[in-house]
């Protein structure tokens, strides 16, 4: 069957121009662009007045961080024009090991969005983490043979790369020997250290937050992924990368994006829209999100509206609104008017499901678990930087006459990370500034990358209640105040994902976020996504782990109070 999309203005990613072309499709592939007669096709689509672009590609995402299973993720991102994603399943792998990866692979089969996987390089992210599993180079080796596995995921353990740690290098060497690319993750690494990191064969990075940091990487041969997610929003800071010559080496990615944002705001389409609003060319942004992503990952049949390319296509009303009216996958209509056409959700094997459900192993907690013995010395306090995953280390003298050192007037709250995979009893307790709660507590089992139980609050009683509610749910998010649960979202799949539909998940996600606002958190902070990265000891400067405060640069646990 031949389909003719007639009369559209086609985005030509090779020339950054708009061409008034008809597009002829046969057997899922584009076979012609130019002037074609309606009689040459079995089906004619009138696209007069619309813009036709290649399907969008998200070059780096953790599907688990959408809190949706792969099928529900596809259902919500497809209507926004996303037809392909490159996913790193290191979240579920930190909980369930190879069974977690298998769950993602099996749950992605036959979807109307192609999901390619890069294997988790850092499970755990560093030796400072306590996870549900450990994956070695030998554990990963057989998975490279699976269809759709195209690389090694972000190498967060950059100290291990710089020190040429044998196990880290074994993972890198095997990936390269297998012809797979390696994703990077090395915030603020520069100069000779960057040279040493790149010489290990690492091809890209999504952690740049400053223009000069990104431009150094481009000059040294890396591709830069410009990230615009729920917590980390680097687009405005990296806007100069949309200029020549840098834009030729950039991709657009989301990394981590909550379901409410996906459903109501969009996916890659909304980044392209924002680019235009910020005064840069949407055609450049579309090129970054299509052909440049496809070429980087070796997906030679994707990313362009041209003969010989797969007919993954998006019809939008105009380049200003980027409002998607229809999406075609392999030449077949897959979404229109904001909804995906019905498709069958794949199911993982029962033995795999049993490995990713019921992942919480933790006894009930009490107020005493969150108590900090008073000390006169200044405390190390984690300070949140808005719209960034980076944090600062502050040294503050705390008043222990008020709520065990907590001062909501000074935005000093208590923070705890508690091991939940093996019930070791390990926990780190300290202080955080920049979340903005004026009362109550919030808790979550989404705490990158080890995904232990994380809690932030204004008092120990509400912190204990919030934490225990997460244990009862078997994972999720909870908002508590005055001894009552105000809102919650269960995440029974590994403590990371819901088994609800995308729309049901978005409603629950919105409810917990609105409940946090009631506790005083400002609109400028997305507390749950921000909180999720406070326990990741690979992004400077100071993070909290189950073993205590981690100095990320030195990769050492440091005392809460200065000596």
In this prediction, residue 83 carries a pLDDT of 98
Q: What's 233's DSSP letter?
A: B
Domains of the chain, by residue range, sit at: 56-272, 357-558
Using left for φ > 0, alpha for ψ between -120 and 50, and beta otherwise, residue 350 falls in alpha
Choosing among 1.25.40.80, 3.20.20.140, 3.30.70.120, 3.40.50.300, the CATH entry for 56-272 is: 3.20.20.140
- How many residues belong to the chain? 563
Residues 6+ apart with CB under 8 A from 164: none
In this prediction, residue 544 carries a pLDDT of 98
| Helices (H), ranges, 224-343 | 259-264, 268-277, 282-288, 291-296
What sign for the dihedral angle of Cα 62, 66, 70, 73?
negative
In this prediction, residue 529 carries a pLDDT of 86
Q: List C-alpha distances in Å: 273 to 20, 266, 270, 278, 322.
A: 22, 10, 5, 9, 6
Comparing C-alpha atoms, which of 71, 35, 52 is closest to residue 348? 71
d(CA 324, CA 327): 8
| Helices (H), ranges, 369-501 | 460-473
In this prediction, residue 387 carries a pLDDT of 80
pTM here?
0.94
Query: Is residue 401 classed as helix, strand or coil in its secondary structure?
Result: coil
Read off the pLDDT of residues 518-556 as tens digits, 9 standing for 90 and up.
999 998 888 898 999 999 998 899 999 999 999 999 999
DSSP per-residue string spanning 43-83: EEEE-TT-EEEEPEEEEEE-GGGGTS-HHHHHHHHGGGTEE
Regions of the chain with pLDDT less than 50: none
Per-residue 3-state assignment (H helix, E strand, C coil) for 240-263: HHHCCCHHHHEEEECECCCHHHHH
In this prediction, residue 389 carries a pLDDT of 85
Residue carrying the six token digits 């909304």: 270
| 300 C-beta neighbours (distance < 10 Å), count | 11
Residues 6+ apart with CB under 8 A from 387: 231, 232, 233, 234, 524
Comparing C-alpha atoms, which of 263, 243, 278, 223 is closest to residue 86? 223
Q: What's 423's DSSP letter?
A: -
Q: How many helices (H) and strands (E) does the chain have?
A: 15, 28
In this prediction, residue 184 carries a pLDDT of 97
Residue carrying the six token digits 């890659």: 268
Q: List C-alpha distances in Å: 373 to 164, 220, 244, 382, 520.
A: 40, 49, 56, 18, 27
Contact 47, 313 (CB under 8 A): no
Q: What's 104's DSSP letter?
A: H
d(CA 34, CA 46): 15
């Amino acid at each position: 069957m031949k389909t003719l999309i007639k009369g559209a203005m086609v985005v030509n990613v090779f020339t950054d121009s708009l061409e008034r072309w008809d597009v002829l499709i046969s057997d899922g592939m584009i076979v012609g662009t130019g002037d074609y007669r309606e009689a040459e096709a079995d089906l004619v689509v009138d696209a007069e007045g619309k813009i036709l672009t290649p399907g969008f590609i998200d070059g780096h995402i953790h599907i688990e961080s959408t809190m949706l299973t792969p099928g529900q993720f596809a259902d919500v991102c497809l209507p926004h024009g996303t037809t392909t994603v490159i996913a790193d399943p290191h979240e579920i792998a930190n909980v369930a090991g190879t069974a977690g990866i298998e769950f993602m692979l099996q749950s992605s089969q036959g979807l109307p969005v192609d999901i390619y996987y890069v294997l988790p390089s850092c499970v755990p992210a560093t030796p400072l983490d306590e996870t549900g599993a450990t994956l070695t180079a030998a554990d990963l080796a057989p998975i490279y043979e699976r269809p759709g596995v195209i690389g090694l995921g972000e190498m967060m353990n950059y100290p291990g790369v710089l020190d040429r740690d044998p196990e880290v290098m074994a993972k890198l060497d095997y990936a390269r020997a297998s012809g797979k690319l390696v994703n990077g993750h090395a915030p603020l690494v520069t100069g000779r250290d960057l040279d040493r990191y790149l010489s290990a064969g690492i091809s890209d990075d999504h952690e740049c937050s400053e223009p000069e940091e990104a431009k150094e990487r481009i000059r040294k041969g890396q591709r830069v992924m410009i990230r615009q997610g729920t917590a980390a929003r680097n687009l405005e800071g990296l806007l100069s990368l949309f200029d020549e010559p840098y834009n030729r080496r950039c991709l657009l990615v989301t990394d981590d994006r909550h379901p409410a944002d996906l459903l109501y705001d969009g996916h890659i389409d909304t980044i392209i829209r924002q680019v235009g609003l910020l005064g840069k060319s949407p055609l450049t942004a579309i090129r970054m999100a299509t052909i440049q992503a496809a070429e980087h990952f070796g997906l030679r049949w994707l990313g362009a509206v041209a003969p010989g390319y797969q007919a993954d296509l998006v019809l939008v009303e105009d380049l200003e609104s980027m409002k998607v009216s229809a999406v075609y996958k392999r030449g077949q209509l897959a979404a229109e008017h904001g909804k995906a056409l019905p498709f069958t959700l794949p199911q993982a094997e029962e033995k795999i499901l049993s490995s990713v459900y019921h992942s919480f192993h933790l006894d009930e907690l009490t107020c005493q678990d969150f108590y900090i013995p008073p000390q006169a010395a200044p405390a190390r306090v984690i300070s949140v930087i808005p719209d960034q995953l980076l944090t600062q280390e502050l040294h503050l003298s705390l008043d222990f006459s008020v709520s065990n050192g907590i001062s909501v007037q000074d935005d000093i709250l208590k923070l705890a990370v508690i091991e939940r995979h093996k019930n070791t009893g390990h926990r780190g307790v300290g202080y955080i500034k920049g979340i903005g709660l004026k009362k109550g507590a919030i808790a979550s089992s989404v705490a990158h990358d080890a995904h232990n139980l994380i809690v932030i609050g204004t008092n120990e009683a509400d912190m204990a209640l919030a934490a225990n509610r997460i244990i009862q749910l078997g994972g999720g998010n909870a908002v508590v105040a005055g001894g009552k649960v105000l809102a919650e979202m269960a995440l029974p799949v590994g403590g990371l994902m819901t088994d609800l539909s995308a729309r049901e998940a978005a409603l629950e996600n919105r409810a917990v976020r609105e409940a946090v606002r009631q506790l005083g958190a400002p609109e400028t902070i997305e507390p749950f996504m921000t909180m999720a990265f406070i326990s990741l000891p690979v992004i400077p400067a100071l993070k909290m782990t189950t073993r205590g405060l981690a100095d990320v640069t030195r990769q050492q646990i440091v005392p809460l109070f200065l000596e």
